Amino acid sequence: MDVAGLLESAGLLVPEETGTENDITVGDIWDYLVHDEWETALGLLEELGAGHPLPLTFWEKIADAAEQLRLERSSAWCQWRCSEIRNGMVRADLTLRPVGEARRATPIAGHGVMRPMWDIGHLSPAGERALNVARIWVEDMPSLEPGERATVRLLPLTPSQWKHVRPGQLISMHEDRSVAGTAVIREVHRPATAAPAG
């Protein structure tokens, strides 16, 4: 399917009453599509999907459109949203430790490539701390510097190991044995087959 067709079919999956904070609706997207302003239409569809639960098919279609338009960050974001629907997602406020207090001296990439380990309260059979892997996406920032704080989205590698995680819980991020940062859970969304928590 071509870009215009993908964006049109994605737009049909958005309820008409859905709008953004700036009062952008699906009707506005049709205007951009009529004038072949595909990149703008794609950005608005992403914006509409940001605050409203839309089906996996919606995100798959706009991910495909972003890929065809060679919009790497949009493609990565839409693929990330597909993964959230399939596997569940945890939102948290993460604070990285400052340079000198942890191993990291450079910023972490914000677009889902980093896969740190997290202490979410599991123990090994020997009673030692067991860590769990989750990819990280930093919201509204291209990267996160040591000592900074941001809201992040986590995609657990093994979602079943994160079932006990709840809003308000404190977890820690690790790149080695030391704590690289701490996070307070804000929201937990189970895979599409399960009901959301918190």
- Say what percent of the chain tops pLDDT 90: 71
pLDDT tens digits for range 17-65: 777 777 788 888 888 999 999 999 999 999 888 877 899 999 999 999 9
pTM of the model: 0.85
Per-residue pLDDT reduced to its tens digit, 1-15? 799 999 999 999 988
Residue 67 has pLDDT above 50, yes or no: yes
CA angle 136, 97, 104 (to 5 degrees): 70
The domain locations on the chain are 3-86, 88-189
The predicted-structure confidence for 86-115, as pLDDT tens digits, reads as follows 999 999 999 999 998 888 889 999 998 999
Architecture of domain 88-189: Beta Barrel (2.40)
The CA distance from 139 to 8, in Å, is: 27
